[in-house]
Amino acid sequence: MKIDFHVHTKESPCSKMPIETALEKAEKAGLDAIAVVNHNVKPLVYKGKSKVKVIPGVEVSTKEGHLLVINTNKTFERGSPAQEVIDKAGKDALIIVALPFDWTRKGMLWRINKIKGYHGVELNSRCLLNRFNDKARIFAEKNNKILIAGTDSHSPEEIGLAYTEVKAKTIKEAIAKIKKGEGKPVLIKRPLKKKIKPFARSIIKG
């Protein structure tokens, strides 16, 4: 399976993309599933029909930085301590620190060392500088954390630029294997000029 674990839709204040548009583009990009992780809102439960599966989740703006809680229907209060969110998430959730070393977009940076119980860190295709993702790779290896890749898509053209590949037939199996470190993050490199527009949007809208 190929899964993008970081997609935003119009239910998030920073995106205007309908879920149907995201799914259409995901199918064209060869993805099997996307995690819809809108900012600080109730997780989206998609009841429509699509070949691409939708995993509910949320991107929580915690006190320390951005945290992806994937495969959950729970809600979390914006500004909560990250450890509180992790402890509340539950055993079925996949918990990932998003864009951990991207200081331009409120990544956790050194504060990541204050938390425990999360599964891994993200390679984020919206990071303007490659070194932000390089630091995430080094951190994951040093601290025995898993790596996933996500586009942080807010618009259709971003979908397909990053995903995590895992040998699985169901979402449940995929998440279980990824938690064990069996996922392979794929991040498609782009020239700097291709990153400027989505980067600017993320600075303006969050």
The predicted-structure confidence for 120-152, as pLDDT tens digits, reads as follows: 999 999 988 899 999 999 999 999 999 999 999
Strand partners, 116: none
Return the domain boundaries, the chain. 2-205
Res. 196: pLDDT tops 80? no
CA–CA distances in Å: residue 115 to residues 63, 111, 134, 162:
11, 8, 21, 26
What is the reported pLDDT for 200?
61
For residue 10, give both structure tokens. Answer: 């119009």
Superfamily of domain covering 2-205: Metal-dependent hydrolases (3.20.20.140)
β-strand pairing of 120-124 with 162-165? unpaired
Separation of alpha carbons 147 and 186, rounded Å: 10
